[in-house]
Amino acid sequence: MSLVPPGGADSPSPRRAVSPLLEMRRPHCTLACDYCAAILEDKFKRSADMRNRGTSPLSASPRQSLTGEPPWTLPDDDRPDFSALKENIQRINKDCETSTRLDMLLTQVEQYANNLEALVEERTSDYLEEKRKCEELLYQLLPKSVASQLIMGQPVMAETYDQVTIYFSDIIGFTQLSAESTPLEVVDLLNDLYTSFDSIIENFDVYKVETIGDAYMVVSGLPMRNGNRHAAEIARMSLALLNAVRVKTVPHRPGERLLLRIGMHTGPCVAGVVGLKMPRYCLFGDTVNTASRMESHGEALKIHVSPKTKRFWICTTALNWNAEEKSL
């Protein structure tokens, strides 16, 4: 025997199934007991009262009014079917769906904002890291005080220094060595030599001005003044460089040693930044020219010191040098 009515099930059927869920109560008890009978009798009485008033006990809440008018007040043929029930449910939940969509939209906007903040923070961190690298590179090309002025867009004025000590060195026979070597071999030679020099001079109060070919130029006493210690700093640095080059050989000529000659002089000079496209920190004055001549008139693996430089470092250091007089 079929349990489905000939005319099909109407809205009271789903009402009985859904009602306990919406009202958060247990289903009707089906046990034949006095307690259940009393409950059913009470419900029948209340249903009769509702029918007389034309209202539904489920009409107190929009979520409970799933089928519109109370089914028991309508003729059997006019009771809503399941399609009408579905439409009523969608109508009742319309506000809820809108709220849910708005919540979803706000959640998406919040997630986007959080992701954007994280992305901005990451990009800012990358920018600061690249900025730091650029500044470090600039500080290697120019004195830090000068580079800071250029970064801030300030003009760098030339400055006069009363006393500094300037160092020059070059390799004897470098022109002939270059002619007999390939360009790559020359580059490897100078790169190896100057990398060693650069690591050594970091231990002294000096500033590397430039390298031109095989010429290496260093100064002490600028851009940061250091009193009368500049001559002693250059002298100690010169000894360290000379000791380092004594054990070096030409990479592509293992049996051939490098012959370094060094010259230094003390006196006044002017320092300033020259150029805009590729700014250079340059030194000007007779002190520069004299130091260059001291180097060019020097001897292999020896340090050529001017009398003025000698007077300065004797007054500021306890080093006992084996010096001999030599006129230019």
Strand pairing category for 159-171 and 260-274: antiparallel
Mean pLDDT, rounded, of the chain: 76
Q: Above pLDDT 70, what percent of the chain? A: 64
| pLDDT tops 70 at residue 8 | no
Highest mean pLDDT out of 51-65, 69-83, 91-105, 289-303: 289-303
Write down the residue that tokens 């986007």 correspond to.
Answer: 112
Q: Which residue has the higher pLDDT, 117 or 263?
A: 263
The whole-angstrom separation of Cα 41 and Cα 259 is 121
pLDDT at 294 (0 to 100):
92
Residues 43-50 have a mean pLDDT of 59
Q: Which of 257, 288, 325, 250 is nearest to 168 (CA)?
A: 288
Query: Of all helices (H) and strands (E), which one includes residue 96?
Result: helix 94-141
Amino acid at the residue 73:
T
Residues 226-236 have a mean pLDDT of 89
Q: Which two tokens stand for residue 320?
A: 């006992």
Query: 164: which DSSP letter?
Result: E
Looking at the DSSP bridge assignments, the partners of residue 160 are: 270
| pLDDT tops 60 at residue 9 | no
Q: Which two tokens stand for residue 93?
A: 């939940």
pLDDT at 105 (0 to 100):
74
pLDDT bracket for residue 109 (50, 70, 90): confident
pLDDT bracket for residue 35 (50, 70, 90): low
pLDDT at 241 (0 to 100):
93
* Omega cis (within 30) before 6: no
pLDDT at 262 (0 to 100):
93
Residues 242-249 have a mean pLDDT of 88
Q: Determine if the pTM surpasses 0.85.
A: no
pLDDT bracket for residue 121 (50, 70, 90): confident
Residues 311-323 have a mean pLDDT of 65
